[in-house]
Amino acid sequence: MLSRWIDHAVHLVLLVCVVITLLTTVVVVALLGKESFLFFQQVPLWEFLFGTRWEPLLEPKSFGVLPLVVGTLKIVIGSIAIALPLGLLIATYLSEFASGRMRSAIKPVLEILAGIPTVVYGYFALTFVTPLIRTLFPDTQIFNAASAAIVVGIMILPMISSLCDDAFQALPNSLREGAYALGATQYEVAVQVILPSAAARVGAAVILALSRAIGETMAVTLAAGATPQMSLGFLESIQTMTAYIVQVSLGDIPADGIEYLTCYAVGLLLFVMTLIMNIIGNHFITKTHKLHS
């Protein structure tokens, strides 16, 4: 009887824990929604989404978020331009060419690369990558998009390479054997057979990596600057959505001011963008996972 009673008690305790854990989501949504609502009572939604000047801290104030989005996009495009080709080549090497020993030597290195805190990458961008760029392009500003994009690229590289490696490994060996039996070279097998067959999961990896890059904060705060602007150059100072939030919280902002609320409006936008990408990415990964097993 006692142990039957314990059974019910344990069940209840566990249920409470799971509810607490899951409340996080509800609270995030409710909170971002509530504070953003207050913000949008003062600033019209269309002005926020399509305005091209972001000057919330200085008079005359202006709340067009596009400069922050453009800054973020620069980081995202730059980092994926570096990480995608490199990541695919690394994944191909690990999955198709490397010996077992080489594989087990390289994978931990990539894990370490993935485990280095982002503030360290920020420091690296500022004190190593930026000076390097400035010797090549002397006109580059101290804070610039290129440097941050490069380190964010390094940061998401392990994610892309390991997800793509998983995708290649999940393919049945018969696929490779079939192609080799027709006299194909390793290049042809990797590029014309393996890569297209794993396309859905490679796509998912890219989407998840993009979402990581959008949300990346410390490297861009340290290296990319605090100048929200609509421009196309990579060698000048910019500001991303995340860096803006940090900038505001570094100052002592009163809880009821519009500056405080802008953080949540920008946060909501960030949340929606990353959530959509994560849902799509995770969906593709689980879907293809089921297909293969």
List the interface residues with another protein, window 225-284 (CB under 8 A): 242, 245-246, 249-250, 255, 263-264, 267, 270-271, 274-275, 278-279, 282-283
Contact criterion met (CB below 8 Å) for 264 and 36: yes
Q: How far is the CB of 81 from another protein (least distance, A)?
A: 14
Contact criterion met (CB below 8 Å) for 230 and 185: no
Nearer to another protein, 52 or 283 (CB): 283
| Stretch in the footprint of another protein (CB under 8 A) among 55-63, 65-73, 170-178, 216-224 | 216-224
DSSP state for residue 98 in the 8-state scheme: -
Q: How far is the CB of 112 from another protein (least distance, A)?
A: 6
Binding of residue 210 to another protein (CB under 8 A)? no
Q: How far is the CB of 59 from another protein (least distance, A)?
A: 25
Q: How far is the CB of 45 from another protein (least distance, A)?
A: 19
- Helix (H) / strand (E) element for 283: namely helix 258-292
Cα separation of 110 and 126, whole Å? 22
Touching another protein, residues 90-109 (CB under 8 A):
90, 92-94, 96-98, 106, 109
Contact criterion met (CB below 8 Å) for 238 and 229: yes
How many residues of this chain interact with another protein, rule: CB under 8 A? 85
> What does residue 63 show for φ and ψ, rounded to 5 degrees?
-120, 40
Q: How far is the CB of 15 from another protein (least distance, A)?
A: 6
Touching another protein, residues 164-193 (CB under 8 A):
185-188, 190-191
Cα separation of 152 and 275, whole Å? 19
Nearer to another protein, 136 or 255 (CB): 255
Binding of residue 141 to another protein (CB under 8 A)? no
Q: How far is the CB of 50 from another protein (least distance, A)?
A: 23
DSSP state for residue 257 in the 8-state scheme: S
Touching another protein, residues 6-35 (CB under 8 A):
6-7, 10-11, 13-15, 17-18, 20-22, 24-25, 27-28, 31-32, 35
CA distances 180 to 89, 193, 262, Å, are 20, 10, 58
In this structure, the chain runs to a length of 293
- Candidates 70, 133, 149, 154: give the one binding another protein (CB under 8 A): 154
Cα separation of 286 and 16, whole Å? 28
Residue type, 121: Y
Cα separation of 241 and 237, whole Å? 14
Binding of residue 115 to another protein (CB under 8 A)? yes
**How far apart are the two ends of the chain, measured CA to CA in Å?**
43
Nearer to another protein, 52 or 120 (CB): 120
Q: What is the DSSP string of 183-222?
A: T--HHHIIIIIIHHHTHHHHHHHHHHHHHHHHH--HHHHH
Nearer to another protein, 275 or 291 (CB): 275
Residue type, 174: S
Q: How far is the CB of 78 from another protein (least distance, A)?
A: 16
Q: How far is the CB of 4 from another protein (least distance, A)?
A: 6
Binding of residue 113 to another protein (CB under 8 A)? yes
Instruction: Show the tokens assigned to 67.
Output: 């400069």
Nearer to another protein, 45 or 89 (CB): 89
